[in-house]
A and B are shown apart, each in its own frame.
Chain A
């Protein structure tokens, strides 16, 4: 008999601009790829940005019905229409609606396990409370570093691909978080057509990192290197602000046009667009969880990576690139630009060697492995066969079936 898993989320899992949704969907797809597991998803029809409607065809559901369901792969998605399409504007009424739909689905789907993304809203804890009444085990996926304690209420097992988060919440709330395989699907991020000419870096909005990048670009320009650089803005005007600060700190007067070897572009909705342009990838950030996924996307496509060194990044990059220990001055700026520049030259020099190493480095990042590592943690919960227990019948917070 198939084990049934119900995923509960507030934001749409089809939102392609949200790293949380992308990761959640990967886990859902991974679980659904297992033979003896059936996955349903319930979430609201709301997105980080309006543009991120994953399918234009889904617009037909816009305000048409209060709730609807669609099949995507082997996963069934239940959606509830809300008063707004923007996630952060959802109100209590919308969440109450989601809560009711969930209770309704618990009655109909009869899940053996309820799993969701731990977030700073009460919807998951309310639904988990309902699950506890019916003796259904619960699990949550932890991806954010700003969670409040209530995000952990009523949860049997916590999963996270990030060890840093496990450490953080162990100290903060004494929660034991199980580490699963990095949520990354190598096969899905392979780009076929390539027009690689740039050395790409993503601007995470940190001044020291930005300065380092500009210094690199200047150095390359001075040495007459043919290397072209591409900076990806995550925020609209942030790059200009950072350049202003750079000029102030260094008594210089650069504007963006002064850099003949640098292009700047906004973050594309799909990272694949970026990959098709990249020859090398530079990462100076070690704090953002997005970094890990981005680096993996590049490595999977055989793009060598130059990165700052930290435990996590060293293990990800491995032999497929170079990690340089950043040396910080008292004012927070990074001083060893030369080390980074030499590493970049080294990378360009032995391009083919590093390119080969990429394949071996990303071998392990497969959807199957995600599924195995997750199911290993969830297996004891599924083995309770909650849906076959007698508590299921009429013991929830609603006296009658809605």
Chain B
């Protein structure tokens, strides 16, 4: 029997974090695929490494945690060990929080000789546990998603799994590790629209890296050019309202002005993070994703395509691969790539606006193209691939 142990110092029930969503889906699908041949335990701290938004509902549903230091429960064939912590922000954890997490870890390890330890997070706690596990003969896997690590050599890990092909290549060369592309883990059944009433062009996770500056400029100009187009912004671990104030325009004398506030946009509707993303896609005509960072995951793109919603994205290599023919990819100006807070000029966004209009008109005629793009992505294949990797790694 294959015994898998997950360890992270944040909660993988956090729906606002891509890593958590991927990891949870992967573990659940592994349990489903291998059934009795696998036993999975997960050790987490009840904290979010991004923002508490994604964890609110989970904490409310687990009121028992207020009484117990360590709460263990079984969900979808995975046994969870949650350690309580006094602060939901990972960076503010103190010695006693780490102590509790370690206790949860030892509790999970009791009578459970794990074959493989999978985890995420590079702080000293996680690295010391992984290095100890490795020296005790447990195989270790780092579950990397959403970023690249320029100066970390992953010496404590036998394998590094990433969701992006180019990061796998990068890590193999620059970090000299055994880095493998495992693909994305999105459970399409869970994000399928229930009552499709499209209304908005949607922008999810309004961070600077996700192209907030481009979005703001496009939304601003559309107010006069396409007054009929309405935008929906979905906050997750960042706040659209607050981040807008940081956007800047360079003046002739070299100084910067901050042109936007929430009042600048009459055509933008805001909505809070929701655990059930299908509600967002219910209202969505198309996804706009002017992402500035090639290393970010594209969970939203997969989810949108699964709902036959086209995507208007930047033409960074990872995004182009993901969008394929289910939408359009457009270039981003070099200045904006260098400084994510810089608002693009009118010329920069001109072809975005043209595409936006086309896109808005034809949103309901692209279902076959979306499905074609989605052929790249098959959850079952990714999970089978991971199961095979694990069986080879653990020689079982």
Contacts and interface: CB of A to CB of B under 8 A. Distances in A.
A397 B128 CA distance: 11
A120 interface: yes
A175 to B, nearest CB: 15
B147 to A, nearest CB: 15
Interface in A376-402: 395-400, 402
Contacts of B174: 399
Given A120-B99, A150-B102, A153-B132, A397 B91 contact: no
Contact of B91 (A91, A132, A398): A91
Interface string A114-126: 0000001111011
B92 A129 contact: no
Interface stretch (A92-100, A185-193, A327-335): A92-100
Given A91-B91, A92-B90, A129 B99 contact: no
Contacts of A75: none
B291 to A, nearest CB: 26
Given A95-B124, A122-B124, A148-B102, A129 B94 contact: no
A93 B152 contact: no
Contact of B94 (A89, A126, A396, A398): A89
The winner among B94, B152, B154, B175 for most chain A CB atoms within 10 A is: B94
Given A122-B125, A150-B132, A92 B92 contact: yes
Contacts of A122: 98, 102, 124-125, 128-129
Contacts of A133: 131, 155
B43 to A, nearest CB: 14
A8 to B, nearest CB: 11
Contacts of A399: 150-153, 174-176
A217 to B, nearest CB: 39
Given A129-B156, A133-B155, A90 B94 contact: yes
A154 interface: yes
A397 B127 contact: yes
Nearest to A153: B132
Contacts of B176: 399
B132 to A, nearest CB: 5
Interface string B119-141: 00001110111011001000000
Nearest to A89: B94
Given A92-B125, A99-B124, A125 B92 contact: no
A88 interface: yes
B231 to A, nearest CB: 36
A91 B131 CA distance: 21
Contacts of B123: 92, 95-96, 99
A92 B124 CA distance: 8
B155 A396 contact: yes
B95 interface: yes
A177 B135 CA distance: 21
A153 B175 CA distance: 26
B284 interface: no
A171 to B, nearest CB: 18
A128 B156 CA distance: 12
B9 interface: yes
A89 B97 CA distance: 11
Interface in A349-363: none
Contacts of B97: 92
A125 B132 contact: yes
Contact of A121 (B92, B95, B135): B95
B120 to A, nearest CB: 15
Nearest to B149: A399
Nearest to A97: B124
Contact of A125 (B9, B95, B128, B154): B128
Interface string A60-86: 000000000000000000000000000
B93 interface: yes
B94 A154 contact: no
A397 B156 contact: yes
B319 to A, nearest CB: 27
Contacts of B93: 91-92
25 contacts: A88-B94, A90-B95, A91-B91, A91-B92, A91-B93, A92-B9, A92-B91, A92-B94, A92-B97, A93-B92, A99-B124, A121-B95, A122-B128, A122-B129, A129-B128, A129-B132, A129-B156, A133-B131, A153-B128, A154-B132, A396-B155, A397-B153, A399-B152, A399-B153, A399-B174
The 6 closest A-B pairs by CB, nearest first: A126-B124, A129-B131, A126-B128, A125-B128, A399-B153, A99-B124
Interface of B: 9, 90-95, 97-99, 102, 123-125, 127-129, 131-132, 135, 150-156, 174-176
Given A92-B92, A133-B131, 8 more contacts: A89-B94, A92-B124, A95-B125, A122-B124, A122-B125, A122-B128, A126-B131, A395-B155
